[in-house]
Amino acid sequence: MTTPLHFLHLTDLHMPPPGALLRGIDVAARVEAMLAAIAERHGPQGPLPAAFAVVTGDLTRDGEAAAYGRLREALARLPFPAHLMLGNHDDRAAFRAAFPGAPADGEGFVQQALPGPAGLCLLLDTLDQGQAGGRLCDRRLAWLEARLAESEGPVLLFLHHPPLPVGIGGMDAIGLRESAALWEVLAPHRARLRHLFHGHLHRPIAGSWRGIPLSSHRGPAFEVALTSASGRTEVSARLPPCYALARLEGGDLVVHTEELAGTA
Ligand SMILES: [Fe+2]
Ligand SMILES: [Fe+2]
Instruction: Domain ranges for the chain, please list them.
Output: 5-259
Question: What pLDDT shows up at residue 1?
Answer: 53
Question: What pLDDT shows up at residue 231?
Answer: 66
pLDDT in tens, 22-35: 989 999 999 999 99
Question: What pLDDT shows up at residue 3?
Answer: 86
Nearest-CA neighbor of 162 among 191, 132, 196, 204?
Answer: 196
Instruction: Evaluate if residue 117 carries a pLDDT over 90.
Output: no
* 3-state class (DSSP) for residue 83: strand
pLDDT in tens, 164-184: 999 998 899 999 999 999 999
Question: What pLDDT shows up at residue 41?
Answer: 96
- Gap from CA of 38 to ligand 1 centroid (Å): 20
pLDDT in tens, 52-87: 999 999 999 999 999 999 999 999 999 999 999 999
Full-model pTM: 0.97
How many Å apart are CA 154 and CA 47, to the nearest integer? Answer: 27
- Gap from CA of 103 to ligand 2 centroid (Å): 20
- Gap from CA of 145 to ligand 1 centroid (Å): 27
Percent helix / strand / coil, the chain, rounded to 5: 25, 25, 50
The DSSP annotation for 13-74 comes to: --BPPTT--BTTB-HHHHHHHHHHHHHHHHSTTSSS--S-EEE-S--BSS--HHHHHHHHHH
- Gap from CA of 192 to ligand 2 centroid (Å): 27
- Gap from CA of 160 to ligand 1 centroid (Å): 9
Kindly identify the ligand whose nearest atom is closest to the C-alpha of 23.
Answer: 1
Question: Can you identify the CATH homologous superfamily of domain 5-259?
Answer: Metallo-dependent phosphatases (3.60.21.10)
Instruction: Evaluate if residue 264 carries a pLDDT over 70.
Output: no
